[in-house]
Amino acid sequence: MNDSAMRRARESDLAGADAKPPAAPPCAVVIFGAGGDLTKRLLVPALYNLARVGILPPKFRLIGVDHRERTIEDFRAGLRESVQQFAKTRGTEAGEFDAAAWARIENAVDYVQADFNDPAGYKRLSEHMSTVDRDHGTLGNILFYLAVASRFFAPITLSLAASGLMQEERDGTPWRRIIIEKPFGTDYASARALNEQILGVLRERQIYRIDHYLGKETVQNMMVLRFANGIFEPLWNRNHIDHIQITVAETVGVEQRGGYYDKSGALKDMVPNQLFQLLSLTAMEPPNDFSADSVRTEKVKVLDALRFPDPKKPGESAVRGQYIAGSVQGKPYKTYREESDVEKGSMTETYVAMKMTIDNWRWHGMPFYLRTGKAMTKRLSEISIQFKHPPQVMFRDTDIDRMIGNRLVIHVQPDEGVSLRFGAKVPGPALKLGRVWMNFHYADYFDAAPSTGYETLIYDCMMGDATRFQRADSVESGWRAVEPLLQAWELDPYRNFQNYPAGSAGPQIADEMLAKDGRAWNRMTWKPTEEKRS
């Protein structure tokens, strides 16, 4: 069998692998912040990818809203350029430009100039939307996307509601939905206040709080891996697992986002959202079905049971750091404090590592170690499940002086897949133990799908499926879980803070934190194929 025949044979084993999802229902997508980076780099490329695979709604309009005056021609040309530059196929560089798919979008693009705080802009938008329905058959369905700075989330939502644009009939036809970007609040109190404001004018089912990590293929695979296989779940608890590590490391520094980042820092930017999403999918109980409420209820239960091991001293369960000059994969980086829009004496962390426990029957007492940072040695997101060591007794009179704990690693990015480490006998007369890996790479089994990570999420919203979006309670629970640490850091900004050179794996105190527990972080530069012998 040649390679492609083998792939086809493997794929035919996959139930429903060929089933193409249906096209989304007719609708208009209105993007606030149409001139921004997110729109250019991710949102419009995602819509283009939906057009390429034929699931963009048959009747579709895309309306950009922003404060700058632009002609439709300029706006369309700018979007075409960004799609050519940014639309990527998962795991590859930009594929060939699909002019026909782009034409479907380009011909559907409109632009409305509006200042987000000016009622006249909403009036113009409202008038425009009534012509859209009439002329393009979008049936009154509208998806609003707030790709704007977080201070505009409430004002735009309230203005849209006041202008009648969010009005649905009782049964949700036509539907009006809104995707709200992150950061959703800057702490527990502000997230609650924002929820209160928007829930004062909208129903929860109209609100889609996005966290783009939930659009990543391996993240979505987590539930399948755990619950559609018989071998993992019986071991998936504190009786068999020693600890779990979740890493989201980035090689980028703060780039052009110093103004936002310096007020936020690694904890707020990444932990209550991305890291807790990975954590809750790893730790949740199996839901009864895939409905948005069943899944989200199980996830929120995890967040509500999260604890710092010593609740009286949350600051002792976390360390942080800031990058200083160094080089990342050969590229020189300057010190964080010298980046543009960053305070000269900034104490904002660009790295955080923390230890948490989940106070329920499945996980009680077992540590979860989380870490995330910028300007790290490698771009890497992974969940690593470290199983307990087997007993040594049978091997104590042999050359084997140390048993190997099995490790299951779920690679979220960049190379999506799953690896399992186990012990095997090294060939030869002596009884020696080698560490070996079984590796599954997505790319070996499945054709790469065009993906920015946003396709699934935008499509889900058009289909009315909120499973992969955050419900009000889960955003609040995420913030509530980190609140004690935020308060501890505010009282003592220097505690457990250490610089690290750009291009390293983080500050040394992060290693010391695990060493105190007799454990160590997985090497970031680790590759299963490299680790051949113990």
- Residues near ligand BG6, by CB under 6 A: 182, 212, 250, 269
Q: Given 3-state DSSP classes, what are the helix, strand and coil percentages for the chain, each rounded to the nearest 5?
A: 40, 20, 40
> Alpha carbon of 313 to those of 310, 348, 517: distances in Å?
5, 20, 17
Closest CB to ligand BG6 among residues 185, 315 = 185
Closest CB to ligand BG6 among residues 176, 182 = 182
Q: How far is CA 356 from the centre of its chain?
A: 20
484: nearest Cα among 306, 365, 346: 306
Give me the least distance between CB of 37 and ligand BG6, in Å please: 12
Closest CB to ligand BG6 among residues 61, 212 = 212
Task: Give dist(CA 513, CA 355) in Å, integer.
Answer: 9
Closest CB to ligand BG6 among residues 42, 79 = 42
Closest CB to ligand BG6 among residues 163, 522 = 522
Task: Give dist(CA 131, CA 153) in Å, integer.
Answer: 26
Give me the least distance between CB of 252 and ligand BG6, in Å please: 6
Closest CB to ligand BG6 among residues 150, 157 = 150
Query: Over the Cα atoms of the chain, what is R_g?
Result: 24
Closest CB to ligand BG6 among residues 89, 113 = 89
Task: Give dist(CA 301, CA 286) in Å, integer.
Answer: 12
Give me the least distance between CB of 250 and ligand BG6, in Å please: 5
509: nearest Cα among 351, 291, 346, 311: 351
Closest CB to ligand BG6 among residues 250, 460 = 250
- Please give the sequence-ordered ranges of beta strands (E in DSSP) within 230-389, or none if there are none: 241-249, 306-307, 318-324, 326-328, 331-333, 351-358, 368-373, 380-387
124: nearest Cα among 97, 82, 163, 90: 163
Give me the least distance between CB of 269 and ligand BG6, in Å please: 5
Give me the least distance between CB of 374 and ligand BG6, in Å please: 7
What DSSP letter does each residue of 313-326 carry, written as one string? -GGGGEEEEEEESE
Give me the least distance between CB of 49 and ligand BG6, in Å please: 16
- Dihedral of alpha carbons 407, 408, 412, 413, sign: positive
Give me the least distance between CB of 381 and ligand BG6, in Å please: 6
Give me the least distance between CB of 379 and ligand BG6, in Å please: 8
Closest CB to ligand BG6 among residues 157, 381 = 381
Closest CB to ligand BG6 among residues 37, 196 = 37
Give me the least distance between CB of 372 and ligand BG6, in Å please: 9
> Alpha carbon of 472 to those of 24, 155, 184, 185, 206: distances in Å?
25, 18, 10, 11, 12
What's the DSSP call for residue 272? I
Give me the least distance between CB of 153 and ligand BG6, in Å please: 15
Alpha helices in 145-242 (DSSP H): 153-162, 188-199, 217-227
The token pair at 33 is 């912040």
